[in-house]
Amino acid sequence: MRYVEHRVPSALEQIGRVHAIPVKRHDQKLIRHLTMEEVRAILNAPDLATRSGVRDRATMHLCFAGALRVSELVGVLTENLSLQHGASVTIRGKGRKERCLPRWKDTARDLRAWLSVRGAVRVPELFVNAQDEPMTRAGFEYVLDKHVRAAAEACPSLRSRSISPHQLRHSCAVIMLQATHDIRKVALWLGHADIRTTEVYLRMDPSEKLEAVEAVVPPELRRGRFRAPDALIASLLENASTSDTT
């Protein structure tokens, strides 16, 4: 209807009634994420003795450490990566908005290793496939799924689980929230325009709720002990004796 209202102005009254229809309610399940042990197992799965293994480690590490969407990851340009003092990468997110993210030392080390074996390819994208063409969304999903299955041998909690690239983004957000306890910093890191979008991570982090519980002083209540009346005790004794005789 938002599309039609600009094409058919004569139907604005009917379109307004359609807009007034409330959105259907639906279950809002908690977002699934990975623990640090599971992330470590996945990142350790690639064979670093091969070019593809070095690429896969760097790709998955950057996706997790930067909490990137798949489109942001495969769209990273080599020229937007800085590995000098204070390593950083410039990301173009939704709405063509750019954000500059500093890199962890281990992430920068994996990216340097990839650049050393990447070679002179013709495309500007940082990550390429075996044909030296830009890596696609489907290509990264295949890479992640392959290494998740390999990591499941050392990490049993990954067995029979389907891990999507977006779960790496969620995992970074949760870990960052637990470390900073600042939802605004998480929103800036993820590139969320509205902090209400980031608040979903507050619902899934039990440590935030635990701090709230510990901060509240519970009311002091009068304590007592239940005393059974004589009639109740007599009835219980009578039932017990009846069951013993039967």
Which residues are known catalytic residues?
69, 94, 166, 169, 192, 201
Give the sign of the dihedral formed by CA 186, CA 171, CA 209, CA 211: negative
Measure Cα distances from 178 to 32, 147, 158, 190, 208 in Å.
Answer: 16, 26, 22, 15, 8
Using CA atoms, how far apart are residues 120 and 42, in angstroms rounded to an integer?
A: 28
**What φ, ψ does residue 152 adopt, rounded to 5°?**
-65, -20
Strand-strand pairing, 88-92 and 98-102: antiparallel
Closest CA relative to residue 92, chosen from 106, 81, 108, 104: 81
Using an 8 Å Cβ cutoff, are 128 and 138 in contact?
no
**What residue type is assigned to position 1 of the chain?**
M
Using CA atoms, how far apart are residues 190 and 193, in angstroms rounded to an integer?
A: 9
Using CA atoms, how far apart are residues 78 and 65, in angstroms rounded to an integer?
A: 17
